[in-house]
Amino acid sequence: MSTASLNQVTILGTLGRDADSKFTTSGVNVCNLAVATNDRWKDKDSGEWKEKVEWHRVTLWRGENLAPYLVKGQQVMITGKLETREWEKEGQKHYTTEIIADRIQLVGGKKPEAGQASAAAAPAAAKPAAARPARTSAPKPQAPATQPEISDDDVPF
């Protein structure tokens, strides 16, 4: 008899910094992201709104085409799996749990300003040709469509 299991996570949050896009020694791109999600509730005793921000580490493999669009303030929906890594430093064990992204969707939020857009597009072009893997025929991501601003009162949950 086998036991079924599922390791899947979906978050909707805001990028806390531009994507940190690097290439491994074998030429594979890896993007590291910091995504903030928040929980908001009304305190029963005081009637005040409370908020807690949770930060998530996200790793995206082979995301070089998407990296220029992953800029601080951009809202994203990420689907992937949780993975915990362990390492030892100075005799002490350390752990980190991160989301290994299978899919990232740009969903709106803060739009890059003029200075940010050109700076965000530069990293891929600035890498020496030897450090970049050969281009594939994958389609380039399109910029997200503009959406009307919504407030927390508009969200149904």
Query: Which residue, 63, 57, 60, 55, is CA-closest to 84?
Result: 57
Q: Tens digits of per-residue pLDDT, 79-94?
A: 999 999 999 999 999 9
- Mean residue pLDDT across the chain: 77
Residue 26 has pLDDT above 50, yes or no: yes
Q: What is the pLDDT of residue 32?
A: 95
Q: What is the pLDDT of residue 82?
A: 96
23 close to 133: Cβ distance less than 8 angstroms: yes
Virtual CA dihedral for 96, 101, 102, 105, nearest 10 degrees? 160
Q: What is the pLDDT of residue 3?
A: 85
Q: Tens digits of per-residue pLDDT, 90-145?
A: 999 999 999 999 999 999 755 555 444 433 333 333 333 333 344 444 444 444 44
70 close to 15: Cβ distance less than 8 angstroms: yes
Residue 146 has pLDDT above 90, yes or no: no
- Domain architecture of the chain: domains with CATH: 9-151 (2.40.50.140)
Q: What is the pLDDT of residue 64?
A: 87
DSSP code for 124: H
